[in-house]
Chains A and B, each alone.
Chain A
Amino acid sequence: MKRKVLFLSVFLLAAAGMVLPALPCHASDGEILIGHPACLSGSYAKAGEQAVGGIQAILDWVNNTRGGIAVEGRKASLVYKYYDCESKKESVTSLLERLITSDKVHFTFAPYSSGLTLAGAPIAEKYGMIYMDHGGASDKIFQQGFEYVVQTIGPGSLYHAGTLEMVKAIDPSAKKVALAYADDEFARSVMKGAEERAAELGFEIVFNRTYPAKVTDLTPLLSDLKASNPDVIIGGGHFEDGQLLNRQLADLGIQPKLLSLIAAATLPAFGEALGDLAEGVMGPSHWEYGVTFSEKGAKKLGKMWIGPNQEEFVALFKKAVGKDMIPDYHAAEAGAAVLALVLAVEKADSLDPDDVREALGDLEFMSFYGGWNIDETGKQVGHSMVDVQWQKGQRVIVWPVAAQTGKPLYPKPDFK
């Protein structure tokens, strides 16, 4: 009997130890809470891990380097509270509501991807809570009449504008463009933008086909593409299929003058996975290690500057994730969203969501991430993208000229 009681009490203690962290944490007076139903497992785990790291890195900077946020006559520090939504739509709503009602956060962040961002939007709107969209690139989110959704990532339709301009500037004889991309909303909106841009610039689209997301073999599609003999291949969708596309182009001996892949090619893992085959492959990126945005540059343009410089951000990011990992644009855009909130709160001198939303609407600033400015629907319009290229195992920014860290390698060297 005694043993039973002992066991039971120890077990209860252990159970309590597990449940205690689940109790709601309320903000003390000097704290501003940011809540985030992040994607730490499931299909968006990769981007979600980056986003959480990026937010933590900027939090560290705001609290420790900047000394907090001046609001309503006091200095407040930022606190970050995140849960894992498993990249599942039905978990987003309940976790988001918990953050808003139990944890009483002041601002919320959306999970990654357009779909999950949309899943949480009705809840955020219901509670009149600012909802920072850092990973939902769809233009359609901002045609739905949401009032509290604020985008930091640039809209999908602009991804390849720079790439095509670069080809036109360097090699006017290259005319034939092939598009091969994942059949999902994001890649489709990117490629629709690319198609329109290509038409404006006088390119000819010789191939335009999709493949199902999560594909494992692209050979039939690429044999078809090979027959159209394109100068430029634009494509991709996510991480795995981008690697696959590049690899199988090489396997089939298709040699375009330029290959640009969305999402996949901008990540360090891409070069590691493909080795020499990545040489010369490009990708449009919202932000890249090596971009040259600086406080001085911002001053020249007459824009407000906030935040760490790039090196500081990378160091803070590594500290936050506890690994020697270079942040990619998912981290940068999530971090930049925090900076936007910081400025808006100070400008509004209030934590009231409506005041802050108004301040965000008027806000325009620069940071390590680049420009930030939203239109009246909350859509990001102030951020421009860069094009990166793999050169000798490094990612080099090759376009636009103003942001270059190296000359473009054109035509790209043939696959061996």
Chain B
Amino acid sequence: MRGSGKYLPIVPVLAAYALLLLYGLAAPGKWQLVAQLAFYCALGQAFNLFMGMTGYVDFGYVAFLGVGTYGMAVTISSLSDGGLGLGIILIGFLAAAVFSTILAMAVGAVALRLRGAYFAIATIGVNEGFRYLIEGARIWNGADGIIFSRHLKTALGRKMAMTVSTFWADIFVFGVAVLAAVLTLYYLRNKVGYALLALREDEDAAKVMGIDVTRYKIIAFITSAALAGLLGASGWALKLTYVYPPDVFEIHYTVEAIIIVLLGGAGTLMGPIAGGLIYGVSKYFLAITLPGFQLLIFAPIIIAIIVIFPEGLVGILKGKVHGTSLEKFVI
């Protein structure tokens, strides 16, 4: 697939996000639901960037969201009196990206030498170890966490702070989702993607062929981590204006990311959107219709979907459009 058609698959992705965004803006009182769905899509999209291309399961992925959240929280709580106005948010995002990148480089240097279940467990160790380091050494206020709603109000004014928490934070989440999708496609269509594809099929063979596997792995790993940092900074820090270590370093969110990616189809571009929407909407409706029982219903449904359709929704779709003119839009 060469030439102008190379980046066509981004069209349906952008269309899907645009439609979701428009629905949120147009339908009264549905914005937070849309924001939650966008969060799931972005989570899946950012997670999929590394996991989908390499087949490595980073179980401690949530640690990057956690440090990103802290990046924003620390920035706002310490610079709120600086008269920076909206610039503080920009600095916060920068800090989030820097924090998560640094952590990713440290983790990557250690864990990326491992494979399969060893890699997954090592990354769990990183997440838990980092959380206990924060609590044990009292870094960033330790277990007391940071509550910075007041600081945000000081920095931006009451009205603006409220709009940031209830509206702009969610727009940023959309931004992260789109950025993740664009980067995924860009990588897929360039050297990184080809190298990682070879790696996913057979890592040793790829190495023998002279592909610098480690370098491309680290590129994808860091990109995915930085996106997670931005997602934490917008979807958790700016939106909720507080952070407690056990709330953000919670393995459950990695599991959610895996569910989303697998429901949609691992390694596909559209998969995380499809997965995020299915996951978010079903969770939301079960919480409303059967409060207290939703997990009892949801868990067997997940098993059923995974056992019966292991290739995910987009995997099925790919099979359906194979050989038709729509083929070049779906990956």
- Which one of A67-75, A122-130, A266-274, A344-352 is at the B interface? A122-130
Is A19 engaged at the interface, CB distance under 8 Å to the other chain?
yes
Q: Which one of A19, A96, A115 contacts B242 once the chains associate, using CB atoms below 8 Å?
A: A115
**Which A residues touch B147, using CB under 8 A?**
118, 138, 140-141, 143-144
Is A9 engaged at the interface, CB distance under 8 Å to the other chain?
no
Query: Would you give the shortest CB distance from B211 to chain A, in whole angstroms?
Result: 39
Q: Which one of B33, B143, B150, B240 contacts A188 once the chains associate, using CB atoms below 8 Å?
A: B143
A145 near B149 with CB under 8 A, answer yes
Is B35 engaged at the interface, CB distance under 8 Å to the other chain?
yes
Give Cα A122 to B36, complex, Å: 15
A210 near B285 with CB under 8 A, answer no
Task: Report the nearest A residue to B244, measured CB to CB.
Answer: A115
- Asked if A90 meets B235 with Cβ closer than 8 Å, knowing A40-B292, A184-B246, the reply is yes
A84 near B292 with CB under 8 A, answer yes
State the interface size on chain A (CB cutoff 8 A).
49
- Asked if A84 meets B235 with Cβ closer than 8 Å, knowing A19-B285, A94-B33, A118-B242, the reply is no
Query: Would you give the shortest CB distance from B217 to chain A, in whole angstroms?
Result: 30
Instruction: Kindly state the interface size class of chain B when it binds its partner.
Output: 35 or more
Query: Would you give the shortest CB distance from A144 to chain B, in whole angstroms?
Result: 4
Is B39 engaged at the interface, CB distance under 8 Å to the other chain?
yes
Task: Report the nearest B residue to A144, measured CB to CB.
Answer: B149
- Which one of B54-62, B112-120, B158-166 is at the A interface? B158-166
Q: Which one of A22, A38, A122, A188 contacts B149 once the chains associate, using CB atoms below 8 Å?
A: A122
Give Cα A59 to B327, complex, Å: 58
A90 near B36 with CB under 8 A, answer yes
Instruction: Mark out the residues of chain B between 161 and 198 whose CB falls within 8 Å of any chain A CB in the assembled complex.
Output: 162, 165-166
Task: Report the nearest B residue to A88, measured CB to CB.
Answer: B252
- Asked if A84 meets B244 with Cβ closer than 8 Å, knowing A90-B39, A122-B166, A188-B143, the reply is no
Instruction: Mark out the residues of chain B between 131 and 159 whose CB falls within 8 Å of any chain A CB in the assembled complex.
Output: 132, 135, 142-145, 147, 149-150, 153, 158
Can you give 15 contacting A-B residue pairs, CB < 8 Å? A21-B289, A41-B294, A49-B292, A82-B291, A83-B287, A93-B32, A94-B35, A100-B29, A101-B28, A122-B165, A122-B239, A143-B147, A144-B147, A184-B244, A212-B135
User: What is B's interface to A at a CB cutoff of 8 Å?
Assistant: 28-33, 35-36, 39, 132, 135, 142-145, 147, 149-150, 153, 158, 162, 165-166, 235-236, 239-242, 244, 246-247, 283-285, 287-289, 291-292, 294-295
